[in-house]
Amino acid sequence: METKDEKAKETKFTYEFDEQTGILFKYYFGPVSLKSLTSSWDDAIAKQLIPANTKGFILDYRKGSLQIGLNEFTAIPEYYKSHPEIFENKKIAIIVDKPREIVVPMLVREQDSGYESKPFATVEAAKQWILESR
81-129 pLDDT per residue, tens: 999 999 999 999 999 998 888 888 998 999 999 999 999 999 999 999 9
Cβ–Cβ under 8 Å, residues 41 and 106 = no
CATH topology for 4-131 is Transcription Regulator spoIIAA (3.30.750)
Structural domain boundaries in the chain: 4-131
Which of 46, 104, 54, 49 lies closest to 76, judged by CA?
A: 104
Overall pTM surpassing 0.85 (yes/no): yes
State pLDDT tens for residues 10-61.
769 999 999 999 999 999 999 999 999 999 999 999 999 999 999 999 999 9
Pairing mode, strands 56-66 and 91-95 = parallel
Give the per-residue pLDDT at 127. Answer: 97
Distance CA 65, CA 80 (A): 20
What pLDDT, on a 0 to 100 scale, did the predictor assign at position 7?
43
pLDDT digits over 52-93, tens only? 999 999 999 999 999 998 889 999 999 999 999 999 999 999
Name the band, by pLDDT with cuts 50, 70 and 90, for residue 9. Answer: low
Q: DSSP secondary-structure letter at 132?
A: S
Non-local CB neighbours of 104 within 8 Å, separated by 6+ positions = 66, 68, 70, 73, 76
- What is the predicted pLDDT for the residue at 50? 96
